[in-house]
Amino acid sequence: MKLRPYFLYLYVGFLGFVSLQGQEETLLWSAGETPFLKIRAAAEEPPVLPSLHLYATQGSENHTGAAVVICPGGGYGGLAIDHEGHQPAQWFNEQGVSAFVLHYRLGSQGYHYPTQLADVQRAIRFVRGRAEQFGIDPDRIAVMGFSAGGHLASMAATLYDRSVYEAQDEIDEVSARPDFAILCYPVISMDPAITHGGSRKNLLGPERVDDENLAADLSSEKNVTAETPPTFLFQTNADTAVPAENAVRFYLALRENGVPAEIHSYQDGPHGVGLYRGDPVLGTWSGLLSNWLRANSFFAPPQPSVPVKGNVTLDGEPVSWGVLAFHPEDENLPVTSVRVRRGKFAATEEVGPVPGPATLSFEGSIWEATSNPGDKAVSLKSLSPGNPSPIEVEVKAEMEPLQLDFSSK
């Protein structure tokens, strides 16, 4: 008997992983278990089944064990799966991070809230539930979203414990809370004053688009708590499609609840730029994200830190003002910077560097003490410009105070 496309699709769903144009894909649920499933009127047309496209790094030399679920934007009416899915996934792969691009269901397909929240919760649970299979640390899973996908990611970060569908298997018993959130020019609020109208309509549906109670309930800035994961936000001031007030409101809610957060709002740049690495200004945002992820122990498991202290001179004078940075040999570990003031520096165990081999870099000045116009701030990775040898230290508990004597010549 010849299988119709619909039944063939159901059969493939039970196989788990399939190949799609060279890219590995897996359905979030098998067709018979997918919540909110709508059978299309045309018998020959398969139902819309949410899926993950896998960009795993297990087995690669730079594999870090970290993972990210990426939610492309598209106003909840489409999916910008290239520049807000495939390209960011490749960018993460370059840094040893396994990426999973979520193809969630859309308002244009007749799917409205809570379907999208169910899809992203299942995606995070899938990655965490299959962590051993992919060589992933279940405590280092991020969710990332662009535009309307940013709203979906913000719901994942704030409504992770909201029960919106019945558990189908053991994966649905796993936590849906992401450990980090990355929100790129995100739709955050359903407030008509600042929201993206198309996203609101597609998410709520035509029959509920004017339901202000539901809109308020899905305005993510109102759902932030102290348990919301650390969050990175990227926005442009020139964005008129999704005004910066969305990201700012979420950031302020994070601050109010004591959640670690970082926000970058560029002056120029249209909505929907993706990585935009060809732009010498706006394209720097992904580098800032990488720095933030490293500082927050995403690329490597959190390490204990140790206290350090010491003295720093420049050209024989105590450094008036400067900064000393500890760069671990393992580049996936966070860099720790310590302020130098009046020739001394100290960092407590809570904010000190991680143990292990490290190199030091220094930037500082003695002008405040000397008032000599010739004394300028210097930046050094060795004890003097003429000495190419890096400054190597072994960071460990109960270190002796460091004595660092730099020369500007």
The three-class DSSP label of residue 225 is coil
Q: Is 316 exposed, middle or buried (0-12, 13-18, 19+ CB in 10 A)?
A: exposed
Measured between alpha carbons, how far is 258 from 235 in angstroms, rounded to an integer?
Answer: 21
pLDDT of residue 31: 80
Q: For the chain, how big is the Rg over CA atoms in Å?
A: 25
Question: Is the pLDDT score of 41 beyond 70?
Answer: no
Q: What is the pLDDT of residues 67-80, one digit of tens each?
A: 999 999 999 999 99
**Residue 235 and residue 91 in one domain:** yes
**Residue 239 and residue 318 in one domain:** no
Residues 83 and 1: beta-carbon distance below 8 Å: no
**Residue 401 and residue 261 in one domain:** no
Question: What does the pLDDT average to over 112-121?
Answer: 98
pLDDT of residue 43: 54
Which pTM value belongs to this model? 0.93
**Residue 190 and residue 285 in one domain:** yes
Whether residue 301 is contained in a domain is answered as: no
Whether residue 127 is contained in a domain is answered as: yes
Q: What is the pLDDT of residues 370-382, one digit of tens each?
A: 999 989 999 999 9
**Residue 272 and residue 352 in one domain:** no
**Residue 258 and residue 347 in one domain:** no
Instruction: Kindly indicate the confidence band of residue 32, based on its pLDDT and cuts at 50, 70 and 90.
Output: confident
| Beta bridge pairs of residue 231 | 181, 261
HSE at residue 221, side-chain half, CA atoms within 13 A, is: 20
Q: In terms of residues, how long is the chain?
A: 409
Q: What is the pLDDT of residues 180-189, one digit of tens each?
A: 999 999 999 9
Instruction: Kindly indicate the confidence band of residue 121, based on its pLDDT and cuts at 50, 70 and 90.
Output: very high
Single residue among 295, 324, 348 that ends a domain in this structure: 295
Measured between alpha carbons, how far is 28 from 8 in angstroms, rounded to an integer?
Answer: 17
**Residue 237 and residue 365 in one domain:** no
Question: Is the pLDDT score of 244 beyond 50?
Answer: yes
Question: Is the pLDDT score of 5 beyond 70?
Answer: no
DSSP symbols for 110-174: T--TTHHHHHHHHHHHHHHHTHHHHT--TT-EEEEEETHHHHHHHHHHHSTT---S---SGGGGS
Single residue among 245, 264, 295 that ends a domain in this structure: 295
**Residue 214 and residue 124 in one domain:** yes
| Distance (Å) of CA 291 to CA 284, 295, 335, 390 | 11, 6, 9, 22
- Which residue reads 């393992």 in tokens? 330
Question: Is the pLDDT score of 360 beyond 50?
Answer: yes
Q: What is the pLDDT of residues 209-236, one digit of tens each?
A: 999 999 999 999 999 999 999 999 999 9
**Residue 181 and residue 232 in one domain:** yes
Single residue among 272, 295, 318 that ends a domain in this structure: 295
**Residue 240 and residue 127 in one domain:** yes
CATH of the domain at 248: 3.40.50.1820
Measured between alpha carbons, how far is 389 from 380 in angstroms, rounded to an integer?
Answer: 11
Provide the number of structural domains found in the chain.
2
DSSP symbols for 3-69: PPHHHHHHHHHTT-EEEETTEEEEESS-GGG-TT----SSTTSPPP--EEEEE--TTSTT--S-EEE
**Closest Cα partner for 271 from 295, 253, 247?**
247
Domain of residue 316, residue span:
308-406
**Residue 270 and residue 361 in one domain:** no
